[in-house]
Structure 1
Amino acid sequence: MTSKGLFFKYMRENTKQRLWSVALTALLCFFLFPVLTALETTIMLRPDNLSKDLSVEAALAEAKLKLTNEMLHMYSIQNAMLVFILIVTAVVLAASGFSYLHSKKKTDFFHSLPISREMLYTVTCLDGILYLAVPYLVFLLVAGVMLQVKGAPFLWGTLLIGYVQHMCFFTLVYMTVVLAVILTGNLIVGLLGTGVFFSWGPGVAAVISTYFSEYFMTFYDNGNFLLRWCERTSPVFWYGTATGSEHPTRMAVIALAVAVLLFGLGMFLYRRRPSEAAGRAMAFKVSEPVIRFLLVVPITLFSGMIFRSILNDDIWTVFGLICGLLITSCLIEIIYHFDFKSLFAHKRQLVISAVAVAAIFLGFRLDVAGYDSYLRMLTRLHTRVFTVMRWTTMRQGLTM
């Protein structure tokens, strides 16, 4: 059998094993589009709801126009509720599609099949995307036909553009979850990893902004830096930002491009993922200290700022930093090893995190970089220059 035939055969077999996913997405799209369209049509075109100030024909035409605008908004990228539903769907489909990686028996079975890991990975990824893309498109077209039957004017292009935009962002979120599942060997840890991928960037941005605002009197941020950082480090934030963007199509194209990169990265990791990683917290040992450090440092800094916001005292700030460091490190060790005896299994990494936290805290507290003093010096210099120029101007005026 050719590789092409084997590819499509495995797609069919994989779909048979995941019929519940197909049924779930089909049912979801059925209620989201045809059923919701029917409900809105019935409500908005009901004679009792038509305008009494216009003739029957004019009132009906106005109601149809409002119906079109309402439904196109519900189908478009501007619908935040639809965005939320598709994000949840992406998490469910990605986590369920690769859930076999968290079972030793299933992993051994799938990896013993006469197909390459690359094909197995590609089929599983593609199936998960198609399980939403196909029913989404079919029932969206059905909803469009329902609107046309009722005489509601709209452009099919507008409808389909919204579909393509949503699918681009959905693919980005989906591939992010796939990456989290591949990096972990346990479903719960995989979902926690998904949460980290969704929130780590915005969380770090919030901590940095808070420290700048707290310790630097001359710091001013209108929110643009924080917003840009959050957009570019979180797929969920990027998706949500598109709902109010003037250029959602450009953002969708970027989302699709990043999704393709994540697909390639996921394949690279999947090829090197050991089968015995199933059941462990992390699939790759080398990733454990890196992830631990990237989580412990910002969470510790955040805990210190919590105490400072309450008491505004350096001693309590340090107390919060110490508590945050120990608690976060211990929790991560428990998650990694599923054993309370491993609370302080990696003292060297704990020390490295503590040094990093201390350096960052002291850097802000003592203004090691001279951020405040430099800007204050510039302010004083500008003030003196302005004073001299003003005095010179006044003297010239008096002389004349």
Structure 2
Amino acid sequence: MISKISYIKLIREDIRHRGWLAALSGVLLFLSMPVYTLIYLDSYSEDPEVLKEFADTFSRFINGYNSAFLIILIGILAFAVGISGFQFMHKKEKLDFYHGLALKRHQLFAISYLAGLFLFLIPYIVCTVLTILVGAVKGIMTLSLAGECFLTMGTGILAFLLIYHTCIFAGMLTGRSVTMFLGTLVIGVYPSLVLTLLPSLRDAFFQTTYNVHDSIPEKLSEYLSPFPLFIRMLEQNNSYSNVFMITAALVLIVLLLAASIMLYRIYPSESAGNALAFKFTPPVFKVLISIPTAVFISLLVKSFIGASGTKWIIILSMLAIVLLCGLIEFIYWQDLKMLLKGWRSSVIAIGFVAVLLAVFQFDFTGYDTYLPKEEKIARIGTLPDSFASYFWYPEDYTSEDDRESFVLSDDVDVLYNLAQSGIENVKKGITPNTLYSSQTSMQTDKDSDNYICAAFCFELESGKKVYRNYCVFYNETLEAFTKLCQKEDYRKELFPIFHVEKENVSSVSLQDIYITPEELLLTAEQRTELLSAYEKDVLNTDIRKLGSEVPIGEFSLTIRHVPNKETNTNQPFHSWVNGTREWNAARM
């Protein structure tokens, strides 16, 4: 049984063999942390007041928030340390030698793992302390700020471990350093690639999609993939305060480490020099990697060249899947004669991509024509395109969560009928894409004036919300709003004037048809009376006038905004404008 002393000696010996990496880490981290911080702060040394402002953001110099170079450097060091520490597994002579030692496999793993960890940790901790000393020399360092710097250092270490463990895990699945590197790239982005693929295809193929916020898979993709999570942790200031992010990083780190240890215990010695370590994995990995990658490449190329329609997605996807299958087989065997060796897995991958694209191309799921059953809908809201510049709400200008874009109504039947007409238009080929496209299916421009794009929000009895975007008739939309606005509560929710607290309005300006704004010299009481009179006019306005008459003026309100502790804004005032086409106001 190996003693603790010899165990430490083996770690030191491993570090000594990788001394070039230790020196490189030390020099680069020294230049990118304390030296960079000193140069950056020294440029403001002549202005003490400005220099003091850096106290709030000084910890950013530790994790790379102020320097993209440091973020890239940490990632590269994690790659270098991981590959150099376990490259002995990829050479048969070295692997036989190490496995012939009187050491258990978990001990060999621990020696290489800890040695690599120290190669980064020691220089990084030393450079963090030196960076803090730079802040102390400049007179901006405090005890609490030093503590914040060490917490930021902790997130930097976690970010390093994400890439380090990803690299080690890839090493346990491969038998060559090249495939270990490629495997690290794949594992680092694969969860994000898979989770965002279906939403991307939905937006590309379907005509009625409407995205209010990221879907659950898209949100999870930022926390389940090592590379995106690595970047998020280092790009955000005070990322250590994001409990969910830190938890996700810790879970990924532990899972990758545990999986790596388990795989190393069963790692076959004869796998050294092979592309992959386990015989059953080549066809499985080829199918899992090539399918999402091929479709992603087609979407990326289509977006880059600006091609319209979906035919190029299909053509590029099929071309990409064929090329990827051949490329992966070449990486496996490094022999052009062996490209067809795994033809069965290639057929499976190509067939899956073809079926997947057919499902989206012909909408076998009925996404574009889907409409919840009326009895299952609790409320419906609609948002025509014209509202984007028509109604501006005070809540939209705060740093808090955005207000619900849709004004939901209990009069389900009114908007349900409008949504049904939108689906009928979809079946006729009249969609938001065709309405705004130069290759529109409308016979004349006059025909297109009869339609308007409107997004719908269906709030089901279960609480779930379904969003769609249809092309509907202009007159039908106006008639629907006329019926909805017969209720005073709906009007108060729709018109922004009712979202304004009159006591917080500090000034009112009027902009006439000549676009010449002029502040109205009113007292607080007069401003309140003016806004109250406007509210009464809005409640009594015929909604049809909003779509037929042209405004002759516009109100602009300056509203006093007191930021709370959760908001981070330095602006005490916000200007909001009125959004109705009635009376002498155009927007609010």
TM-score (norm 2): 0.59
For 1:373, the equivalent position in structure 2 comes to: 369
Distance 1:183 1:223, change over 3 A: farther
Residues 238-260 of structure 1 show CA distances to partners (whole Å, capped at 9, x for unaligned) of 12223337753422343123212
- For residues 246 and 67 of structure 1, the distance between their equivalents in structure 2, rounded to whole angstroms, comes to 14
Q: 136, 151, 159: which one pairs with 2:139?
A: 151
Residue 221 (structure 2) aligns with: 230
Deviates more, 1:128-137 or 1:330-339: 128-137
CA distance in 1, matches of 2:367, 2:27: 57
**Would you say the 8 A contact 1:65–1:153 is kept in 2?**
no
| 2: CA distance, partners of 1:336 / 1:183 | 13
Kindly provide the amino acid, as one letter, of the partner of residue 201 in structure 1: P
Higher alpha-carbon Rg = 2
| Pair 215,153 (structure 1): closer, same or farther in 2 beyond 3 Å | same
**Cα distance in 1 between the residues matched to 2:236 and 2:485:** 52
Distance apart, 1:228 and its partner CA: 1.3
The answer for the alignment partner of 1:329 in structure 2 is 325
Q: Secondary structure at the match of 2:371?
A: helix
2:295, 2:313 within 8 Å by CA — same for their partners in 1?
no
8 Å Cα contact 1:218-1:375 kept in structure 2: no
Q: Which residue of structure 1 aligns with residue 15 of structure 2?
A: 15
Contact 1:80/1:240 (<8 A) preserved? no
Shift in Å at residue 377 of structure 1?
Answer: 7.2
Shifted more, 259-268 versus 218-227: the winner is 218-227
Q: Cα distance 1:2–1:337, how it changes in 2: closer, same or farther (>3 A)?
A: closer
Correspondence 1:110-259 to 2 at 5 A = 110-154=98-142, 155-222=145-212, 224-225=214-215, 227-242=218-233, 243-244=235-236, 248-249=240-241, 250=243, 251-259=245-253
Matched AA of 1:122 = A
Equivalent position SS for 1:98: helix
Q: What is the CA-CA distance between 1:218 and the residue it aligns to?
A: 2.0
| Alpha carbons 1:44, 1:67 under 8 Å: kept | no
Displacement of 1:310? 3.0
Deviation by residue 1:174-227 (Cα, 9 ceiling, x = unmatched) = 100111122111122111111112222333344323310122222223452364
Task: Quote how far apart the aligned CAs of 1:37 are.
Answer: 3.4
Unaligned runs of 5+ in 2: 381-410, 418-479, 487-588
C-alpha distance after superposition, 1:326-371 (max 9, x if no partner): 2111111000111101111122112211221122111111222222
Structure holding more helix per residue? 1
TM-score, normalising length from structure 1? 0.85
Q: Distance in 2 between matches of 1:175 and 1:369?
A: 40
| 1:73 paired residue number | 60
Residue type matched to 2:92 in 1?
K
CA contact (8 A) 1:168 1:253 kept: no
Mapped partners of 1:202, 1:104: distance in 2: 34
**Cα distance in 2, alignment partners of residues 347 and 275 from structure 1:** 28
Contact 1:185/1:281 (CA < 8 Å) preserved in 2? yes
Q: Which SS does the other structure have where 1:44 is aligned? A: coil
Structure 1: runs of 5+ lacking an equivalent: 51-59, 396-400
What is the root-mean-square deviation of aligned Cα atoms in Å?
3.1
Partner SS, residue 280 of structure 1: coil
Deviations 1:268-308 (A, max 9, x none): 11111112211111111222122101122123324555569
User: Which residue does 2:307 correspond to in 1?
Assistant: 310
2:307 corresponds to which letter in structure 1?
I
Using the TM superposition, give the Cα deviation of residue 312 of structure 1 relative to its aligned residue in structure 2, in angstroms.
Answer: 3.0
Q: Which residue of 1 aligns with 2:536?
A: none
* Larger strand percent: 2
Question: CA separation of 1:342/1:206 partners in 2, compared to 1, >3 Å: closer, same or farther?
Answer: same
- Preserved contact between residue 21 and residue 131 of structure 1 (Cα < 8 Å): yes
Give the counterpart letter for 1:268 in structure 2.
M
Equivalent residue for 2:87? 99
The count of corresponding residues between Structure 1 and Structure 2 is 381
Counterpart among 258, 267, 277 of residue 264 in structure 1: 258
User: 1:84 and 1:141 mapped to 2: Cα distance?
Assistant: 21
Return closer, same or farther for 1:80/1:352 CA change in 2, 3 Å cut-off.
farther
Residues 1:127 and 1:253: Cα distance change in structure 2 (over 3 Å): farther
Q: For the residues of structure 1 that align with 2:185 and 2:26, how far apart are their CA atoms?
A: 26
Map 1:6-45 onto structure 2 (within 5 A). Answer: 6-45=6-45
- The one-letter code sitting in structure 2 at the alignment partner of 1:36 is Y
> Cα distance, 1:35 vs. partner?
2.2
